[in-house]
């Protein structure tokens, strides 16, 4: 796995590279949900980034205007971007496919790679393309790779919308087709074990490597270095994300702990549901930093006939709830 950091300008690109990022991905967070940077910004970064590193361009959520998108893709190729990401939220599959084929044609004669992108939370929007179609769309659209990302800004991330096992299947399918595979979407340090088990070629982040841990603040090289170090420790096996049998460390044990720190209530419930679906025989202890979330968890447990065995506060002040499926 290599690290891709989303940047908005040359300063952030230099910070990302100083911290050890392998790819700087140029985008514009101020344009719609996520948009494209201005050509002069891309050119400035592309001219400054050493040839040993990649500088990619994100077009964000593209409109159903095939000629307009093709022209933007052509510009990315002319600017010598390493790759250009074309993302779809609400669109007909046939239109998305035609757009990618036109984009591929626009890149003929350049070294720029075409990356198709869908968003894991697309189904929240009426008419959103199912992210489960990502591999099919990338293959039929003659893409060199694909990216699965998110658009929501409510604390949920990639794993709240697509489970680890399904992401692993999609990544393996992409690799078998010779495509590069990338995952992004409000990923944090706490997601690195799951990411490592999925093992995409590229892990994309922004908020996790910003100075304040907020994607709207500035990318900071020390935060990038910390994230890169932890990524590499899992890549080399110095931090093992599997048990001795090659399965996930939590699976099949008698007592599972789910740390809800940094997760929304929806994220905690999703993690609990996933764990219990995989292993309905083990006790699950969940750490809940926000006491208000306990009420929703109680309702969820009652609705699904799970027993809450104990509730206690730990030394850090977080509530620990022990659940018997």
> Which residues make beta-bridge pairs with 257?
285
Least confident interval from 86-95, 166-175, 224-233, 313-322: 313-322
Distance CA 106, CA 156 (A): 35
Nearest to 12 by CA among 72, 52, 51, 55: 55
Each residue's pLDDT tens digit, 158-194: 999 999 999 999 999 999 999 999 999 999 988 999 9
What integer is the mean pLDDT of 114-137? 96
Strand 319-324 versus strand 283-288 pairing type: antiparallel
Q: What is the pLDDT of residue 139?
A: 98
pLDDT at 271: 87
* Phi/psi at 127 (5° precision): 85, 5
- b/e 259-277 (16+ beta carbons within 10 angstroms → b): ebeebbbebbbbbbeebbe
Region 86-93: mean pLDDT is: 95
Cα torsion for 29, 118, 168, 107, to the nearest 10°? -90
pLDDT of residue 246: 46
Predicted confidence (pLDDT) at residue 126 exceeds the cutoff of 90: yes
In this prediction, residue 212 carries a pLDDT of 62
Lowest-confidence range among 98-102, 178-182, 195-199, 275-279?
275-279
CA distance to 158, 284, 295, 302, 309, per residue, from 292 (Å): 24, 19, 6, 17, 19
Mean pLDDT of all residues in 109-129: 95
Q: What distances in angstroms separate CA 79 from CA 22, 50, 85, 252, 265, one per listed residue?
A: 19, 15, 14, 51, 43
Q: Which residue has the tokens 């910390």?
A: 226
Q: Which domains does the chain have, with CATH numbers?
A: 2-235 (3.20.20.380), 255-324 (3.30.110.40)
In angstroms, rounded to a whole number, what is the distance separating the alpha carbons of residues 52 and 54? Answer: 7
Instruction: Name the residues annotated as catalytic.
Output: 27, 85
Residue 249's SS3 state is coil
Q: What is the 3-state secondary structure (H, E, C) of 6-53?
A: EECCHHHHHHHHHCCCCEEEECECCCCCCECCCHHHHHHHHHHCCCCC
pLDDT at 70 over 60: yes
pLDDT band at 249 (very low <50, low <70, confident <90, very high): very low
- The pLDDT value given to residue 291: 65
- Tell me the C-alpha distance between 258 and 286, whole Å: 5
Asked if pLDDT for residue 245 goes beyond 50, the answer is no
Average pLDDT estimate for 245-266 = 64
Question: Degrees (nearest 5) of the Cα angle 281, 287, 289?
Answer: 155
CA–CA separation, 94 and 303 (whole Å): 40
Is the pLDDT at 120 greater than 60? The verdict is: yes
Residue 248 has pLDDT above 60, yes or no: no
Do 296 and 269 contact (CB within 8 A), yes or no? yes
Global confidence as pTM: 0.74
**Is the Cβ–Cβ distance between 208 and 187 less than 8 Å?**
yes
């Amino acid at each position: 796995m290599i690290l891709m950091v989303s940047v908005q300008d040359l300063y952030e690109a230099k910070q990302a590279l100083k911290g050890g990022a392998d790819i700087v991905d140029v985008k514009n967070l101020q344009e719609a949900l996520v948009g494209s940077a201005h050509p002069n910004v891309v050119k400035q970064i592309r001219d400054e980034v050493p040839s040993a590193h990649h500088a990619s361009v994100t077009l964000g959520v593209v409109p159903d205007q095939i000629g307009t998108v093709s022209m933007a893709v052509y510009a990315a190729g002319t600017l010598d971007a390493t790759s250009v990401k074309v993302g779809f939220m609400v669109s007909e599959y046939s239109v998305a496919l035609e757009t990618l084929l036109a984009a591929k044609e626009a890149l003929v004669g350049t070294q720029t790679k075409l990356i198709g992108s869908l968003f894991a939370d697309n189904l929240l929007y009426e008419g959103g393309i199912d992210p489960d179609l990502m591999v099919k769309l990338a293959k039929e659209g003659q893409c060199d790779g694909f990216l699965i990302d998110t658009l929501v800004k409510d604390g949920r991330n990639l794993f709240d919308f697509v489970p680890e096992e399904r992401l692993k299947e999609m990544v393996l399918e992409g690799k078998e087709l010779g495509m590069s595979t990338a995952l992004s979407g409000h990923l944090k340090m706490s997601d690195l074990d799951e990411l490592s088990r999925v093992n995409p070629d590229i892990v994309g982040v922004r908020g996790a490597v910003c100075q304040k841990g907020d994607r709207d603040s500035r990318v900071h090289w020390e935060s990038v270095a910390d994230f890169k170090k932890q990524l590499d420790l899992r890549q080399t096996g110095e931090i093992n994300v599997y048990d001795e049998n090659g399965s996930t460390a939590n699976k099949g044990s008698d007592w599972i702990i789910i740390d809800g720190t940094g997760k929304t209530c929806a994220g905690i419930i999703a993690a609990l549901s996933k764990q219990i679906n995989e292993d309905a025989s083990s006790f699950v202890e969940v750490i809940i930093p926000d006491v208000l979330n306990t009420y929703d968890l109680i309702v969820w447990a009652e609705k699904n006939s799970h027993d809450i065995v104990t509730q206690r506060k730990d030394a850090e002040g977080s509530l620990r709830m022990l659940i018997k499926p």
